[in-house]
């Protein structure tokens, strides 16, 4: 490595930088020096980049989207609108459902023995869960099938039939078909859901 040559060129860089307007002299010197060092196979010293620490998101933070600072269940606009229409209180919904550690739970559940009613009760509760999580009051038939199988309200031979009874068919804007698409709640379904929430919360007589 020819250090004399480097020293000479370095002096030239200093002189060149002096001819540049004052605000740009330092930057000009840095650029020319880097070029000189690269040409001389001496890697230039890079200014270390300060990396901002990445904050860990714990399980509690993940649930903040569904809970306010006071710990109350944070309800989306579609649910609040439903509550105003049907005169349902937030406390009644919080008596029936909860979200803890990112998991949705039904605290109160239908406990009667009417299979047809139980199937459609759970369809309404599935729609409530969908509204709280995804802002859509929709019931998916296969999700309902899975739930009622677990809860003891499943009648395989009449699963589709129970949705088609006039009383229950009015709950949904479209036909609830096995393997079919999720259906939004009709006004009759919203009214039935409100009555179910109040029954499960123990406020239906108030």
**In the chain, domain spans:** 3-39, 75-201
29-33, 56-60, 70-74, 92-96: the lowest-pLDDT one: 56-60
Which parts of the chain fold into alpha helices (H)? Answer: 3-18, 22-39, 59-62, 77-86, 90-96, 115-134, 141-151, 159-164, 166-169, 187-201
Instruction: Decide: 66 and 132 in contact? Cβ < 8 Å.
Output: yes
Residue (of 167, 127, 168, 119) closest to 145 by Cα position = 119
**Ranked by mean pLDDT, which of 2-11, 18-27, 28-37, 143-152 comes out on top?**
143-152
At residue 9 the predicted structure's pLDDT band, cuts being 50, 70 and 90, is: confident
6-10, 31-35, 77-81, 124-128: the lowest-pLDDT one: 6-10
Residue 191 structure tokens? 């009214």
Distance CA 53, CA 51 (A): 6
Residue 37 structure tokens? 């060092």
Q: Is the pLDDT of residue 189 over 70?
A: yes
Write down the pLDDT at residue 205.
73
């Amino acid at each position: 490595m020819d250090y004399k040559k480097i020293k000479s060129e370095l002096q030239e860089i200093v002189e060149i930088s002096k001819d540049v307007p004052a605000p740009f002299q330092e930057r000009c010197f840095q650029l020319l020096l880097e070029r000189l060092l690269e040409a001389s196979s001496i890697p230039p010293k890079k200014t270390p980049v300060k990396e901002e620490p990445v904050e860990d998101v714990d399980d509690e933070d993940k649930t903040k989207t569904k809970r306010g600072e006071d710990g109350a269940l944070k309800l989306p606009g579609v649910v609040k609108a439903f509550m105003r229409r049907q005169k349902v209180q937030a406390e009644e919904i919080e008596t029936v459902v909860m979200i803890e550690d990112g998991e949705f739970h039904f605290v109160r559940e239908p406990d009667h023995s009417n299979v047809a009613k139980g199937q459609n009760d759970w369809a309404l509760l599935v729609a409530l869960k969908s509204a709280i999580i995804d802002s859509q009051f929709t019931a998916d038939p296969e999700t309902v099938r899975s739930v009622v199988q677990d809860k003891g309200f499943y009648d395989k031979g009449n699963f589709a039939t129970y949705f088609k009874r006039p009383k229950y068919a009015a709950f949904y804007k479209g036909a609830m078909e096995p393997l079919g698409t999720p259906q939004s709640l009709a006004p009759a379904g919203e009214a039935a859901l409100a009555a179910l929430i109040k029954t499960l919360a123990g406020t239906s007589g108030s």
